[in-house]
Chain A
Amino acid sequence: MSRFDAIRTDRAKPEPAPGPPAVAAPPGRTPARVGKKAVGGYYSPHLSQALNILALEQNTSLQALLGEAIDDLMRKYGKHPFGER
């Protein structure tokens, strides 16, 4: 039995990281959005449609696609990507 055996078993059950205190989701807000900020812009309906089609084609969500696009943008400008999806 090694000293740190207890930590090895953690993999299967993620737990909330300590840090900012956990905040209950306000009414009407999905828990996945708690502690997150919306980032957006206004574009043409064609652009919006094209993004949604791409998400369907790639079997993913708009949220994940935008995270991917932001990582590419970070790399283009020599910044470290965030890897958020």
Chain B
Amino acid sequence: MQTIAIVSQKGGAGKTTLAVNLAAEAARSCISLIIDTDPQATASRWSQWRGGGDPEVVDCGAPSLLAGKLAKAADLGADLAVIDTPPHADAMARQAARLADLLLIPCRPRAFDLAAIEATAELVRSSRKPAFVVFNAGPPRAPHVYREAASLIGGEFGLQIAPVVLPERAAFHHSAAAGRTAPEHDVQGKAADEIRALWAWAREQLGLSTCAQAVMA
């Protein structure tokens, strides 16, 4: 089993949106689950709105439980676990980073958000895990905004940047409220293309090109 941790000290960065969209896209070809470590239980609420089904959302209330839950998920046949972490999570974020194979840091390409990534950058450096910033909720057509943000993040904080950007799209808002994902909301929409591209890239990073067991969505 491979594990992705979605981390960011900043609230409202889009951690849960990224977690549910990525895990649900993965669930089309793999057995995936979301470990919700956020006391606000946003991913769990999304699962309730969804009426259950894949990807399952399992909550985890304490950092000391996380390793055991991941080990059991692997025993139960999971190919992928996506850990959604809360903002301002100290011990939990460190534990998630320690246990994950890939760290994704959603970040809006805006000055306040970029500045707040410093502490997260230190966390991922100390974990020595492959880590990428995923630009999220920025303007859809403003390449210079992303270029400037990328030069700050790559230069000042030494973080890598995922090749796929998830710009602000209405599909993320409409789908979340219905317990769905952007590709489920509009399979031909731009957000759907971007989520598929991000998952294709992430599974490559994880070496998950062939999942143990294909499941129907």
Contacts and interface: CB of A to CB of B under 8 A. Distances in A.
A77 to B, nearest CB: 9
B66 A17 contact: yes
B58 A8 contact: yes
Given A79-B119, A80-B123, A2 B56 contact: yes
A15 B68 contact: yes
Interface stretch (B87-95, B132-140, B158-166): B87-95
Interface string B176-214: 000000000000000000000000000000000000000
Given A11-B61, A83-B90, A4 B56 contact: yes
A79 B122 contact: yes
B68 A18 contact: yes
B17 interface: no
Contact of A19 (B65, B67, B72, B94): B67
Contacts of A2: 52, 56
Interface string A11-40: 100111111000000000000000000000
B59 to A, nearest CB: 7
A78 to B, nearest CB: 5
Interface residues of A, number: 24
A70 B45 CA distance: 34
Q: Which of A4, A17, A82 counts the most chain B CB atoms within 10 A?
A: A4
Contacts, number: 75
Contact of A83 (B58, B60, B89, B118): B89
Interface of B: 9, 31, 33, 52, 56, 58-69, 71-73, 76-78, 89-94, 118-120, 122-123, 126
Interface of A: 2-4, 6-8, 10-11, 14-19, 71, 74-75, 78-84
29 contacts: A3-B33, A3-B56, A3-B77, A4-B73, A6-B72, A6-B76, A7-B76, A8-B58, A10-B65, A10-B72, A11-B59, A11-B60, A14-B62, A15-B64, A15-B65, A16-B64, A75-B119, A78-B122, A79-B122, A80-B90, A80-B93, A80-B119, A80-B122, A80-B126, A81-B119, A82-B90, A83-B63, A83-B89, A83-B92
